[in-house]
């Protein structure tokens, strides 16, 4: 499809990752450690998210942090002491692992101060982002790198302008955990037009069973709308409410499209899903997988006989 001149903009290069949450679902592990640092196999969850941004071509990453989030900054920074010790030992492979996270992207940090919701966190990115479209990645959602979503969303944004959200069909009994979207089909099978959005509706009030998952490509017009968005669900400034306004106003800063995702997604914000993510990813690892899978098979067999 021919891209109209009004949509021709500089390529999206900035990613924003809200990471100011308290992580109460993982207490006591998160009493003194940010939930984003919890390992998924042997890598902190947040590193998967930064790697995803980088593989979609976004090498400028802004993290929205808060109190007690210093380990995030340390993780993406050099650790000379450790690097020196590993160099001294000649342990090249571990040295590479240590350096991997500090060489990934250009990292920036801003503190949210008052945690007033996801919409407020995104608003904290305004001075850094300026007037270009940008991506938002929520740390609780891990998207399997074999099923790229963000690069498709960027493509759709470049084609249509406006903002793009990610959707996944969920069981209606689960929709109250997500933003829910009213949609219209487009000529692209995986792309829909958003006509309405409701944050965490009861099943009976949900416009559909299409749930918003934690990836967004946003037009900078979102900042103006967020500035005026009143606290919504849970008394928080909701990104969903601001996107709803853009979707419904449909002016030059709209439209809002959705990319329907059918790939593998792990919700590391939920303890059960977090465990499932670790098991799946460990099974697929070349170094750990063969051993772990055979143990798992035996364990499941024993469980079935018990």
Binding site for ligand G1P (CB under 6 A): 118, 138, 140-141, 178-179, 199, 211-214, 238-240
CA pair distance 104, 109, nearest whole angstrom: 15
For ligand G1P, the closer CB: 86 or 124: 124
Length of the chain as a residue count: 306
Least separation in angstroms between residue 179's CB and ligand G1P is: 3
Least separation in angstroms between residue 269's CB and ligand G1P is: 6
For ligand G1P, the closer CB: 49 or 86: 49
Least separation in angstroms between residue 287's CB and ligand G1P is: 30
Please state the φ and ψ torsions of residue 147, each to the nearest 5 degrees.
-120, 70
60-65 and 106-111 beta bridge pairing = parallel
Which helix (H) or strand (E) segment is 65 a member of?
strand 60-65
For ligand G1P, the closer CB: 150 or 212: 212
For ligand G1P, the closer CB: 152 or 282: 152
For ligand G1P, the closer CB: 44 or 117: 117
Q: How far is CA 28 from the centre of its chain?
A: 24
How many beta carbons lie within 10 A of that of residue 168, not counting itself? 19
Least separation in angstroms between residue 92's CB and ligand G1P is: 38
Least separation in angstroms between residue 242's CB and ligand G1P is: 11
In the chain, % helix, strand, coil (3-state, to 5) comes to 45, 20, 35
CA pair distance 280, 48, nearest whole angstrom: 15
Q: Which residue is nearest to ligand G1P (CB)?
A: 179
Return the DSSP state at 27.
Answer: T
For ligand G1P, the closer CB: 174 or 294: 174
For ligand G1P, the closer CB: 36 or 141: 141
Least separation in angstroms between residue 180's CB and ligand G1P is: 8
Least separation in angstroms between residue 41's CB and ligand G1P is: 21
Instruction: Output the furthest CA–CA distance in the chain (Å, rounded).
Output: 66
Smallest CA-to-CA distance from 65 within 102, 16, 103 is with 16
Q: How far is CA 261 from the centre of its chain?
A: 13
Tokens matching residue 94: 């571990």
């Amino acid at each position: 499809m021919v891209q109209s001149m009004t949509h021709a903009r500089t390529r999206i290069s900035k990613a924003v990752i809200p990471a100011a949450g308290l992580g109460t679902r993982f207490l006591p592990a998160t009493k003194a450690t940010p939930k984003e640092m919890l390992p998924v196999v042997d890598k902190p969850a947040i590193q998967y998210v930064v790697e995803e941004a980088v593989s979609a071509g976004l090498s400028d990453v802004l993290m929205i942090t808060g109190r007690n989030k210093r380990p995030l900054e340390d993780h993406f920074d050099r650790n000379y002491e450790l690097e020196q010790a590993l160099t001294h030992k000649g342990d090249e492979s571990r040295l590479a692992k240590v350096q991997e996270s500090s060489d990934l992207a250009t990292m920036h940090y801003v503190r949210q101060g008052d945690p007033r919701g996801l919409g407020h966190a995104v608003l904290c990115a305004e001075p850094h982002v300026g007037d270009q479209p940008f991506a938002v990645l929520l740390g609780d959602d891990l998207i399997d790198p074999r099923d790229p979503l963000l690069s498709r969303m960027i493509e759709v944004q470049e084609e249509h302008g406006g903002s793009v959200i990610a959707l996944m069909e969920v069981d209606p009994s689960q929709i109250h955990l997500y933003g829910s979207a009213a949609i219209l089909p487009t000529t692209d099978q995986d792309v829909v037009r958003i006509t309405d959005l409701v944050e965490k509706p009861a099943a009976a009030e949900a416009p559909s069973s299409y749930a918003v998952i934690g990836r967004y490509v946003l037009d900078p017009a979102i900042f103006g709308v967020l500035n005026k968005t009143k606290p919504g669900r849970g008394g928080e400034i909701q990104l969903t409410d601001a996107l709803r306004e853009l979707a419904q106003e449909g002016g030059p800063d709209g439209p809002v499209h959705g990319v329907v995702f059918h790939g593998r997604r792990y919700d590391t914000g939920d303890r059960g899903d977090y465990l499932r993510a670790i098991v799946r990813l460990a099974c697929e690892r070349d170094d750990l997988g063969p051993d772990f899978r055979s143990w798992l098979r035996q364990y499941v067999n024993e469980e079935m006989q018990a």
